[in-house]
Structure 1
Amino acid sequence: MDPSCLKYALTEEERAAFNETGYLIVENALSQEQVAALTEETDRIYERKVQEGHDSKTALFHPNFIPDHDIFLNLVDYEKVLPKVWGILGWNIYLYHAHMIVTPPSLQPKSDKTFGWHQDSGRVNVEMETHPRPRLSLKVAYFLSDLSVPDRGNFWIVPGSHLNDSLPMPADRQGQPEGATPVCVKPGTAVFFDRRLWHTASPNWSDITRKVLFYGYGYRWIRTKDDMTVQSLWNRCDPIRKQMLGAGVNCNGYYSPTDADVPLRVWLNEHQK
């Protein structure tokens, strides 16, 4: 890893904003060239899925897309993003989940029905006996489409709700919870969000197709959330990227890591002042 990536390290202002609101927006994380290339590969995958039987009128949720092309693999330890991830979670981390979402126009009339609000991680939110719930992980969403205005299938959030174990919903299931707001961003934007942040997808009432790549980072002792087949990539990855893809010396190393388990820690000890 090139030490120049440290210029993208999490700032104290960013840390404070993330801790307070549960999310962080980084504009221009991807160049126009990166957005174009990622969009091309995303479109290729989408067309393949349609040919395999996916209904083109519905959103595509495609996990385990990292092995599909090296352009996705290269974002696993992306220099403009990973330093902020370890700045929030620390060095004992890896990519535990990744999914691509392509949301075509819904072709449905706009309504005020309450969206599907949730916190990530499923049973974790039932079985962990703490308040507030533990952070454990975060996601980075790379937006490839222009979602700078609402009604384009925008990701919605309630800022600051990551410290709340519940979120009151409208009794008649019409409208959104108090404080809810759409995330309106341009292509190339990266949005970091705490897994506990109450959030939701929304219908795409526009005439464009929404395309987003989600990279989920968590502690190495967390199980993968999809059937990731990234092990096939290990033999051509450098040590830090290999750590991000879940490699380790043995099972105990996920709980009590040695330097061989977490080369990111070794690298940080050498390069951070």
Structure 2
Amino acid sequence: MNPISNPGEFTELDRFMFESWGYLIIPNVLSEDEVKECLEASIRLHESEGAKGWAQVGKGYETESALERLIDHPAVLPKVRALYGERFILQSAWCTKQPAFGGVGGWHQDGSGAYEFSKLGYPIPLIQLRASFLLTDQSIPRTGNMEMIPGSHRSQVQLPGAIRTAKDDVPIGHVICAPSGSVLFFHNAVWHRTFTHDGDYDRYTMHYIYSPPWVRCSDRFENNQEFLDRTTSTRRYLMGQFARPDAPFGASYPAEFEKG
């Protein structure tokens, strides 16, 4: 039983599944050649940073064209627009590597260490919408899959601390099994973790996180001007390079008061 969606349009059924489970699985987004190109780019990215063990590296789109093309992929962007409307940004993009024979990760919700999203209200609002491109095969369990707790983005209580500390299993955990080239699309408040990886190869996933335009970026302090100069207008917009539709604070006041 999986919340399977098709690439592109965010349908009424997609919305129902996303609201109910907190995530969607989109198979067949990337071709074999595209997966190979993105995987090679991800390996170069980690090697250039000297990343060891489990690691995540940001801003790969600045130097790797294959990863840049995923920023506004037509299989994903219409779904992001359906949930956020017309104004949102790419808050961050992280390439994660789980090393060969990697162990299980800790249960968590996505958010900010500086200010937990759970403080904003119930249900926890959609602040980080993640599209995770699987670049190595995860069609069977124990291949570095993501494990999700369906519907947990609506829970009014936290996952028990003892379970989080011990990294224990839960009876409603759903290990996501999907081939390389698939996308896992999920809400920040869904409890999830990295599942065990028994393979003798490193597992790579490329994550793109979309947020409202007022959220601070987490993979960069400022946009790379060289990247902005050569990328597309849509991607510049997603970097947050757009004019504000209103002025801070005094937008609803008559013009004579705006000078004060």
AA aligned opposite 1:95: L
Q: What is the alpha-carbon distance in structure 1 between the residues aligned to residue 59 and residue 152 of structure 2?
A: 28
Find the counterpart in structure 2 of residue 264 from structure 1. Answer: none
Find the counterpart in structure 2 of residue 80 from structure 1. Answer: 75
Contact kept, 8 Å, 1:95 with 1:215, in 2: the verdict is yes
AA aligned opposite 1:222: V
Measure how far apart 1:81 and its partner are: 1.1
Query: Which secondary structure state, in structure 1, belongs to the residue aligned with residue 207 of structure 2?
Result: strand
Measure how far apart 1:45 and its partner are: 2.0
Contact kept, 8 Å, 1:64 with 1:229, in 2: the verdict is no
Measure how far apart 1:95 and its partner are: 0.1
Measure how far apart 1:205 and its partner are: 2.5
Measure how far apart 1:170 and its partner are: 5.2
Measure how far apart 1:151 and its partner are: 1.4
Measure how far apart 1:178 and its partner are: 3.5
Matched, 1:247 2:238: no
Matched, 1:38 2:33: no
Measure how far apart 1:175 and its partner are: 2.7
Q: What is the alpha-carbon distance in structure 1 between the residues aligned to residue 239 and residue 139 of structure 2?
A: 32
Q: What is the alpha-carbon distance in structure 2 between the residues aligned to residue 126 and residue 19 of structure 1?
A: 18
**Aligned to 1:162, which of 153, 157, 169?**
153
Find the counterpart in structure 2 of residue 28 from structure 1. Answer: 28
Alignment of 1:122-133 (within 5 A): 122=112, 123-125=114-116, 128-133=119-124
Contact kept, 8 Å, 1:64 with 1:228, in 2: the verdict is no
AA aligned opposite 2:128: S
Q: Aligned pair in 2 of structure 1 residues 252, 66: CA closer, same or farther (>3 Å)?
A: farther
Which has the larger displacement, 12-21 or 196-205?
196-205
Query: Which secondary structure state, in structure 2, belongs to the residue aligned with residue 249 of structure 1?
Result: coil
**Aligned to 1:237, which of 231, 236, 241?**
231
Alignment of 1:1-273 (within 5 A): 8-50=8-50, 54-55=51-52, 58-106=53-101, 115-122=105-112, 123-125=114-116, 128-165=119-156, 166-168=158-160, 173=166, 175-227=168-220, 230-232=223-225, 233-250=227-244
Measure how far apart 1:221 and its partner are: 0.8
**TM-score, with structure 1 as normaliser:** 0.79
Q: What is the alpha-carbon distance in structure 1 between the residues aligned to residue 197 and residue 250 of structure 2?
A: 45
AA aligned opposite 1:134: P
Over aligned residue pairs, what C-alpha RMSD do you find? 2.6
Q: Aligned pair in 2 of structure 1 residues 48, 126: CA closer, same or farther (>3 Å)?
A: closer
**TM-score, with structure 2 as normaliser:** 0.83
Q: What is the alpha-carbon distance in structure 1 between the residues aligned to residue 20 and residue 166 of structure 2?
A: 28
Measure how far apart 1:247 and its partner are: 0.6
Q: Aligned pair in 2 of structure 1 residues 174, 43: CA closer, same or farther (>3 Å)?
A: closer
Query: Which secondary structure state, in structure 1, belongs to the residue aligned with residue 235 of structure 2?
Result: helix
Q: What is the alpha-carbon distance in structure 2 between the residues aligned to residue 88 and residue 256 of structure 1?
A: 28
Measure how far apart 1:94 and its partner are: 0.9
Measure how far apart 1:127 and its partner are: 6.6
Residues paired across the two proteins, number? 241
Identity of aligned residues (%): 26
Q: What is the alpha-carbon distance in structure 1 between the residues aligned to residue 118 and residue 21 of structure 2?
A: 24
Contact kept, 8 Å, 2:110 with 2:128, in 1: the verdict is no
Query: Which secondary structure state, in structure 2, belongs to the residue aligned with residue 193 of structure 1?
Result: strand
Contact kept, 8 Å, 2:91 with 2:210, in 1: the verdict is yes
Measure how far apart 1:202 and its partner are: 3.0
Q: Unaligned stretches of 5+ in structure 2? A: 1-6, 252-260
